[in-house]
Amino acid sequence: MAGMILAAVLVGASAVAPGGAGGNFSQLPGFGEYYAANPPGDALPDEEDRALLERFKPRFFLPDGHAGLISFYDDYVSHGVLKAADGEIISDAVTPQLLNRHKADPGVVFEHLQGETVAGRAVVFGRVDREAVPLAPEARSDMTFLTYHAVFRHSGLAQGMIGWQILLAGLFGDLDDWHQLDHYTAVTVVLDHTNEPVALLLQQHNNQRTYLLGEGYMLPKDGRPAVDVAIRSNELYPHAPGRRRHRAVRFPGRDEMKYLLGLGGRPFISADDITDPKREEPYELRVLPPSDAFYTFEGDLGARRLMPGRNGPPGANYNTWPTLKPLGRQLIAGYWRPGNTGDGRRLLAALKRDDWMMDLISRQAGVFSANWACAKRWGTDCAFE
């Protein structure tokens, strides 16, 4: 079908992902086992953790004409209907409590009333996670992950699509409103056991990209990372003035990783993101328990649309493959540098294995560890591997 073909050739927003049972990405095999072993808690960050979140909260820069960030519960959930799997309306007065009561049902759909004009204050949700990250055989490092989720009412397709992609996509939907809700747009500041920053992780479609501090990227003096929101797709990139293009892929597959590292041609399923920051967006920082529906909702948090890839996303926890859910794996899987010969050599060696991603993580962990140690000692003068 044309819709299936289009879904296969266009880079959409980060929520565009192949579904599991029932068509929802949250039901992909592996998520159930992971969250059974790592159940999200109900506790809110304590005073010390809230201070960390405030200390490192990012700054978001938007392009001209961007609709801006919204508040998930105040601006989005409060203006829509909740529907059962059969389409029957559960409620047209949806509250956070109601959404949370239905968060474990993958058949439930929240449909935002797009026609509503809502004036609200932008809200970014912050959370704190801790994990012992394996960086070398039998060596682990205790790290803190401060994650900040920006929220957008809808997500469009990457701005850097070429002509035939634009024409084809335009037949099937609005390029600016490809699907409702974009909340995988996350910034994560990684701290060591002394709460000193180590790296920055940015969600870029269904990939995490890791920027080691001192290796071509430094936090501003105030400690707050500055990020640019891409035109249409809302993906996040380190702040830089002027119009810039960024290679982008839907998922980190074999050909996609070769392309990102500069070892292969552009995959059929790809298009560039474009950033052109013009203004900073103010927002209010809030916290939710990790068990909240914002993170854990298994159904669709946006209208179901006829074409694959245009349904709303599930909760923000479902941002990548189940095998990459441990934050330490995301940290290392996202540590690659375009044009780096060592990274390229290790990727090509890993691609010879069926479990190539886990093999690549194993190979890159030691490199990340060595470069981190070098950066701590020598800063930007470090001779990075």
Q: Write out pLDDT tens, residues 3-55.
A: 333 444 444 444 344 443 346 899 999 999 999 999 999 999 999 999 999 99
Residue bearing the bigger pLDDT, 179 or 329:
329
Least confident of 45-54, 136-145, 206-215, 250-259: 136-145
pLDDT number for residue 20: 37
pLDDT number for residue 138: 67
Q: Is the pLDDT of residue 179 over 60?
A: yes
Which DSSP category does 380 fall into? G
* Sign of the CA dihedral with 170 first, then 175, 181, and 182 last: positive
Least confident of 108-122, 204-218, 236-250: 108-122
pLDDT number for residue 158: 79
Q: What is the mean pLDDT of residues 169-196?
A: 86
pLDDT (tens digit per residue) in 233-262:
999 999 999 999 999 988 889 999 999 999
User: Residue 173: CA atoms inside 13 Å, Cβ hemisphere, count?
Assistant: 26
Q: What is the mean pLDDT of the chain?
A: 89
Q: Is the pLDDT of residue 213 over 60?
A: yes
114: confidence class by pLDDT, cuts 50, 70, 90 = low
157: confidence class by pLDDT, cuts 50, 70, 90 = confident
162: confidence class by pLDDT, cuts 50, 70, 90 = low
207: confidence class by pLDDT, cuts 50, 70, 90 = confident
CA–CA separation, 6 vs 12, rounded Å? 10
Helix (H/G/I), strand (E/B), else coil: 52: helix
Q: What is the mean pLDDT of residues 220-225?
A: 95
The tokens describing 61, both together, are 């820069």
pLDDT number for residue 119: 57
Residue bearing the bigger pLDDT, 385 or 116:
385
The tokens describing 265, both together, are 């041609």
pLDDT number for residue 74: 94
In the chain, what percentage of residues exceed pLDDT 90?
Answer: 74
Which DSSP category does 72 fall into? I
The DSSP bridge pattern shows strands 123-136 and 284-287 to be parallel
Q: What is the mean pLDDT of residues 182-191?
A: 97
Q: What is the mean pLDDT of residues 212-224?
A: 93
Tell which residue, 313, 312, 307, 311, has the closest CA to residue 6. Answer: 307
Spell out the residues 6+ positions from residue 314 whose beta carbon is closer than 8 angstroms to its own.
24, 25, 26, 106, 297, 298, 299, 300, 301
Residue bearing the bigger pLDDT, 212 or 160:
212
pLDDT number for residue 175: 74
Backbone angles phi, psi at 260, to 5 degrees: -65, -35
Q: What is the mean pLDDT of residues 163-176?
A: 67
pLDDT number for residue 174: 67
373: confidence class by pLDDT, cuts 50, 70, 90 = very high
In the chain, what percentage of residues exceed pLDDT 70?
Answer: 89
pLDDT number for residue 380: 74
